[in-house]
Structure 1
């Protein structure tokens, strides 16, 4: 039906609506544009001609009419015309939750992440808009507002969208949310929830003729994406060149088993509080966020298992990087012993802090029980490597071990470890690469290594680590529990071995 103009003015005598007969419709800005369309007959067979509008222009009215006619043949679409995005998201979440309860649907952690996306972003930002009226501009506006949260631009932006998001994010479950800017990765995850819901509204519920979220998120243009940087081993030749020039050969460097063992011996002899975290990462390679986000209930020392179910993202818990990230990591006896000692230390700290102790329920935490910041773990790692190098520098100047220990507030045992061999620098994340490399070099099956690391496929693990693992293979003679040589282990072996000449 052709669009028409009408208003809500009333006849001064009869008080009836004038509608299309108002004499002022020719005036600019008076009234609005409407249209009617033929909808499916009602259950009792009566004819239905719903009206849409008002719209500011005839063109806008025609565009909306075209959208409506795209679903007009579907009775359900007509009945759902007033359904808002917030209502549909809640309905869809209920369906998905019921499926999960039967054991056939999504995991609880995935549902929790979807619940968060709805509560913090989608419902406050777009929940009031009707599903049929939602377009790509609404979605882009939401993501633009999300990018301004906790940034300087937030103070200058007074839009209603940003106000609603800030209000929803003030607290969650009684806890104030983090004060850092929202990452692009989180926006992608929110987009995945919205895109899935609108796809269902289009293909399953038949509420609208398309998915306006499709194509909103595009990859960045410009430079051609480079391939993944593959690890490079710190061979003796590369270490020698680095000591002379200070140049690191590549972005991703991996320690040999001797170098990794030296670092762990140094951290342990230094009485570094977070040594157990470095030990676990060097042996099994969990991601930094997974290490910090690990909860005590997910660690079973009796069963020798660590369940990786979540990760720390900024200041709050989040999903693991990929679906393959949900995994069980088997632990060797030595690692279990280290973690048992760590558990006893935490109990002593809890007793010392008393009522001031704040138990975050994490495997690794600060002395007062609160959850670690992800960057703090990397910071402690860098400090240890720098201290190792500084100790060697002072020794080269002729300083005695006792003076060096006082200078760096460490133990003489740590100084002795540092003086044995140089320790080239790596990033904290490179401990993960080193764990993968040494496991492969020790002869552990590629499939098992892929599962321990939480990789999406065995092919990925082989592609990234095969070459450097072959380079290291000549030095690997032990599996999992013994693939890193340790000072205490070597001493114990030597004590129980009869010299060949005696």
Structure 2
């Protein structure tokens, strides 16, 4: 048995993704053809029929290839698979796996002289993707060093629970319209495209569930990053309260816009109901961080709270929140890393965290986040809704030193 078949040398998450590509698409689509007989046309036909999967209107004249693909995807491990159409991103990933397998057949096994997948789908650039950068925690020492030098210590940084709580309090006090999206991301870590692509019909506040079925990249809806991305995110009571208030706000906006309202059925949208652009969410996040930093800078120059509030057109309550804590820079996507880190540090079961984040495997979750979660563990004493300390909770508990969620 070859290394490719055993998965020797591969991370478990990579192995699972490659097996998924082969079991659901490669074998049922092309497994009946000898490797030496495969041509580029076989692969083009495979990808063409993959695009038809779960699109009933295109099943009137099923090819034998499409029938095999549908049968393979009907169920797996006793569970019925999702019903979303196959997106271009998944087809590209399947192609990458099949291309790699055929490359081995040419260079290692010497089964055939050429790779029939070459040129079927050309990838951008020729650089090999580097390994995943693991997150690093913004400890007090690292924050102090950054404040002196301006140098960010690592590519991927995550906030401590105190820092994350301060940001959410600041966004809330600033009356940021998209605060609910930031809240959901900080607590449960859906990807940006999943936040933007989430549809109202897949959110049940009463059942405390958000079903993640799709993702949006630029202007196009696509399936999630992996099969594991199709998942349900359980919601705590506070997150449910935030989302319920958000729904009421959207109803008020709908009434205000009247006939001009363009309801696209998304959980998070612009005021006129249109779907958000993914970059807009990141832009609002950066604006909040810049405002937080500017408020602190003006305060260090001696400006009173009232003047700062007028300067940045923000409530005085938000200014007071910003003055409580330094917020070192992170990217919007790092809220997802922070959610994973804080859930693990709070003692939540690794398997549960992996499922909530939509990771391919538990081992991947532990491999990426174990070290930084260990650093953070002293800051987390409660689970899920209570792992981010918030100002109104701290007032409620008085002298208690137990952090609690909002």
Q: Is the pair's TM-score, using the shorter chain for normalization, greater than 0.5? A: yes
Shift of 1:494: 2.5
Mapped to 2, the partners of 1:286 and 1:92 lie a distance apart of 37
Shift of 1:214: 6.8
- Over 3 Å counting, the alpha-carbon distance change for 1:239 and 1:376 in structure 2 is same
1:447 is aligned, of 351, 355, 377, to 351
**Secondary structure of 1:410's aligned partner:** coil
Mapped to 2, the partners of 1:270 and 1:93 lie a distance apart of 55
Shift of 1:245: 1.1
**Secondary structure of 2:86's aligned partner:** helix
1:107 aligns with 2:67: no
Deviations 1:108-159 (Å, cap 9, x if unpaired)? 21xx226xx6xxxxxxxxxxxxxxxxxxxxxxxxxxxxxxxxxxxxxxxxxx
1:490 is aligned, of 374, 387, 394, to 394
- Over 3 Å counting, the alpha-carbon distance change for 1:319 and 1:430 in structure 2 is same
Mapped to 1, the partners of 2:94 and 2:139 lie a distance apart of 44
1:262 aligns with 2:166: yes
1:419 is aligned, of 311, 320, 323, to 323
Deviations 1:466-496 (Å, cap 9, x if unpaired)? 0000000011111100000001111222399
Figure out how many residues of one structure are paired with residues of the other and give that number.
333
Mapped to 1, the partners of 2:248 and 2:368 lie a distance apart of 38
Mapped to 2, the partners of 1:192 and 1:464 lie a distance apart of 23
Shift of 1:316: 1.4
- Over 3 Å counting, the alpha-carbon distance change for 1:239 and 1:316 in structure 2 is same
Q: Structure 2 length as normaliser, TM-score? A: 0.75
1:232 is aligned, of 121, 125, 136, to 136
Mapped to 2, the partners of 1:496 and 1:237 lie a distance apart of 25
**Secondary structure of 1:420's aligned partner:** coil
Deviations 1:380-426 (Å, cap 9, x if unpaired)? 00000000000000000111101100100100000000111111010
Shift of 1:288: 0.3
Mapped to 2, the partners of 1:106 and 1:403 lie a distance apart of 57
Shift of 1:377: 0.1
**Secondary structure of 1:312's aligned partner:** strand
Which residue of structure 2 lines up, in the alignment, with residue 311 of structure 1? 215
1:468 is aligned, of 338, 359, 372, to 372
> Which structure ranks higher in relative contact order (CA pairs < 8 Å, sequence separation ≥ 6)?
2
Which residue of structure 2 lines up, in the alignment, with residue 297 of structure 1? 201
Which residue of structure 2 lines up, in the alignment, with residue 164 of structure 1? none
**Secondary structure of 2:310's aligned partner:** helix
Q: Is the 8 A contact 1:265 1:487 kept in 2?
A: yes
Deviations 1:423-454 (Å, cap 9, x if unpaired)? 10100000000000000000001111111100
Mapped to 1, the partners of 2:360 and 2:83 lie a distance apart of 20
- Over 3 Å counting, the alpha-carbon distance change for 1:474 and 1:352 in structure 2 is same
The answer for unaligned runs of 5 or more in structure 2 is: 1-35, 38-43, 50-61, 100-113, 402-406
Deviations 1:196-237 (Å, cap 9, x if unpaired)? xxxxxxxxxxxxxx9943785688897665321110100001
Q: Is the 8 A contact 2:135 2:157 kept in 1?
A: yes
- Over 3 Å counting, the alpha-carbon distance change for 1:393 and 1:318 in structure 2 is same
Q: Is the 8 A contact 1:99 1:106 kept in 2?
A: no
